[in-house]
Amino acid sequence: DTGVSQNPRHKITKRGQNVTFRCDPISEHNRLYWYRQTLGQGPEFLTYFQNEAQLEKSRLLSDRFSAERPKGSFSTLEIQRTEQGDSAMYLCASTTAGGAGGYTFGSGTRLTVV
Amino acid sequence: AQKITQTQPGMFVQEKEAVTLDCTYDTSDQSYGLFWYKQPSSGEMIFLIYQGSYDEQNATEGRYSLNFQKARKSANLVISASQLGDSAMYFCAMREPDTGANSKLTFGKGITLSVRP
């Protein structure tokens, strides 16, 4: 168990550019979640996958955001035409379905749009 | 109405003393789960403790305990014997229903805890 891995840790991009983040969950976890956290706030749910199926998307996930989880393993979150309001920490978490325990979070990707 | 409310301003505690971090929640589900997470300055969310709505006893995990008062819809975190490494942001979160297809967490805004030597 090597934990949930997120790459990159930090990303600075110019407004209008596209960015992609990667999350590698714990191998036996079939559920994967993406959250966004802005400064001074708690994480907000964006979307989640059970295996390769994307089961729910938040209204926060505009058309510029897309997430995939091919083969039910790692996941990517892409933001197209970034805006300054996209600046935030993007957190990934994984768990087993119906688990009574906690979700394991990665260390996040901090995005700064300049 | 907010689902998770954490209204305390920044909290301070003396090392080795106990501290209580408040959390109230709002749900109409009978089945729900309550979680506490710690987020140090490094950014990682660290799971601390979980309480299911049907659990009759308060959850405990080492120095952490959850004071679950179902009628009041509160789930306060108690940290005993505070350590300097406990300085961090603390988030209360809820999962509703506690099992099933829809199992995302809803977080509160968090509380900053500072432990003084």
Tens digits of pLDDT across chain B (117 residues): 679 999 998 999 999 999 999 999 999 989 899 999 999 998 889 999 999 999 889 999 999 999 999 999 999 999 999 999 999 999 999 988 776 656 789 999 999 999 999
Q: Which two tokens stand for residue B54?
A: 């049907």
Cα distance between residue B47 and residue B36, in whole Å: 6
* Mean pLDDT along residues A63-81: 94
Nearest to B102 among A42, A56, A107 (CB): A56
pLDDT number for residue B9: 82
- Helices (H), ranges, chain B: none
pLDDT (0 to 100) of residue A97? 65
What was the pLDDT predicted at A95? 87
Q: How far is CA A48 from CA A55, A68, B104, in A?
A: 6, 10, 8
pLDDT for A2: 72
Separation CA A70–CA A78 (nearest Å): 14
Closest residue by Cα to residue B19 from B51, B64, B72, B73: B64
Question: Which residue in A48, A98, A104 is closest to B104 by CB distance?
Answer: A48
pLDDT recorded at residue A71: 86
User: Is the separation of the CB atoms in B93 and B36 below 8 Å?
Assistant: yes
State the average pLDDT over residues A69-93: 95
What's the whole-number mean pLDDT along residues A35-57?
93
Q: Which backbone phi and psi does A30 adopt, to 5 degrees?
A: -95, -5
Q: Give A72's DSSP letter.
A: G
Count Cα atoms within 13 angstroms, Cβ side, for B104: 20
For residue B14, give both structure tokens: 């003396």
Distance in angstroms between the alpha carbons of the first and the last residue of chain A: 36
- For residue B99, the 8-state DSSP code is S
Quote the mean pLDDT of chain A. Answer: 92
- pLDDT number for residue A86: 97
B45 contact residues in A (CB cutoff 8 A): 43, 91, 93, 105
Q: What band does A1 get if pLDDT is binned at 50, 70 and 90? A: low
Q: Which chain A residue shows the shortest CA-CA distance from B43?
A: A107
* Residues of A in Cβ contact (< 8 Å) with B53: none
User: How many CB atoms are closer than 10 A to CB B29?
Assistant: 11
| Mean pLDDT to the nearest integer, A62-68 | 94
Residues of A in contact with B110 (CB under 8 A): 40-42
Q: Does A40 touch chain B (CB under 8 A)?
A: yes
A 10 A CB-CB count for B47 gives 18
Q: Which of A40-54, A77-91, B99-113 has the highest mean pLDDT?
A: A77-91
Q: What integer is the mean pLDDT of A27-33?
A: 90
As a whole number of angstroms, the distance between CA A102 and CA B92 comes to: 12
- Residues of chain A found within 8 Å of residue B100, distances taken between Cβ atoms: 98
Q: Which of B113, B92, B3, B81 has its CA nearest to residue B50?
A: B92
